[in-house]
Amino acid sequence: MTSLKDQMQADLTSAMKSEDELTKATLRMALAAVTNAEVSGKQARQLSDDEVVGVLAGEAKKRREAAQSYDDAGAPERAARERAELGVLERYLPQQLSDEELDAMVQEAVAQAAAGGQAGPAAMGAVMKVLQPATRGRADGAVVAAKVRSALQS
Question: Can you give the pLDDT at residue 1?
Answer: 36
- At residue 87 the predicted structure's pLDDT band, cuts being 50, 70 and 90, is very high
Task: For residue range 1-50, list pLDDT tens digits in order.
Answer: 359 999 999 999 999 999 999 999 999 999 999 999 999 877 888 888 88
Cα gap 117→77, rounded to integer Å: 52
Domains and CATH numbers, the chain: 4-90 (1.10.1510.10), 99-153 (1.10.10.410)
- Which residues are CB-contacts of 63 (< 8 A; sequence separation ≥ 6)? 82, 83, 85, 86, 89
Q: Residue 31 in contact with residue 79, Cβ under 8 Å?
A: no
Task: For residue range 124-149, list pLDDT tens digits in order.
Answer: 888 888 888 888 778 888 888 889 88
pTM for the predicted model, two decimal places: 0.77
Residue 56 pLDDT > 50? yes
Q: Residue 94 in contact with residue 137, Cβ under 8 Å?
A: yes
Mean local confidence (pLDDT), 83-89: 96
